[in-house]
A = this chain, B = another copy of it.
Amino acid sequence: MHTRSYLTVRYAETDRMGFVHHSNYPIWYEVGRTDYIKSYGISYSDIEKAGILMPLTNLSCNFLKPANYEDKIVVRTWAIELKAAHIQFTYTVKKINEDGTQEELGYGSTEHGIIDSKTLRPVSLKKRMPELYEKIKATF
């Protein structure tokens, strides 16, 4: 299972090199993650309301081709690993050309701890949100 998120490159996302600044890719991954989690029937806002945070422990981005202002972008997102207090997502970023063909601009992954929003200590998603845990597990 994976989700596709569509976005258009913003002017503010470019830098003086003329292309999208690399610091925007983790933000696009996050847009993808938001949509991906929503596909399980729960929003990430709801997970936070339930007292759980998922801060990054690792970020990895590979850049193949640059993105330009006004480019149409599709971010594909999927989870590849889920342990008690740890989750990992993978992403591809592609440009959608005017003729509908796609070009891969890059790919990456993020690893997240699963922690309690009060104590900031690891919590078991399996115990705290068993339904969500099983739904994610079922997609592997």
Contacts and interface: CB of A to CB of B under 8 A. Distances in A.
This protein's copies in its complex: 4
A123 interface: no
Interface residues of A, number: 38
A21 B12 contact: yes
Interface stretch (A22-30, A79-87, A128-136): A22-30
A58 interface: yes
Interface of A: 8, 10-12, 14-19, 21-27, 30-31, 34, 43-45, 48, 53, 55-63, 66, 68-70
29 contacts: A8-B31, A8-B34, A10-B30, A10-B34, A11-B21, A11-B30, A11-B44, A12-B15, A12-B26, A12-B27, A14-B15, A15-B15, A16-B69, A17-B53, A17-B55, A22-B55, A23-B27, A23-B30, A34-B70, A43-B70, A44-B70, A45-B69, A58-B61, A58-B62, A58-B63, A59-B59, A59-B60, A59-B63, A60-B60
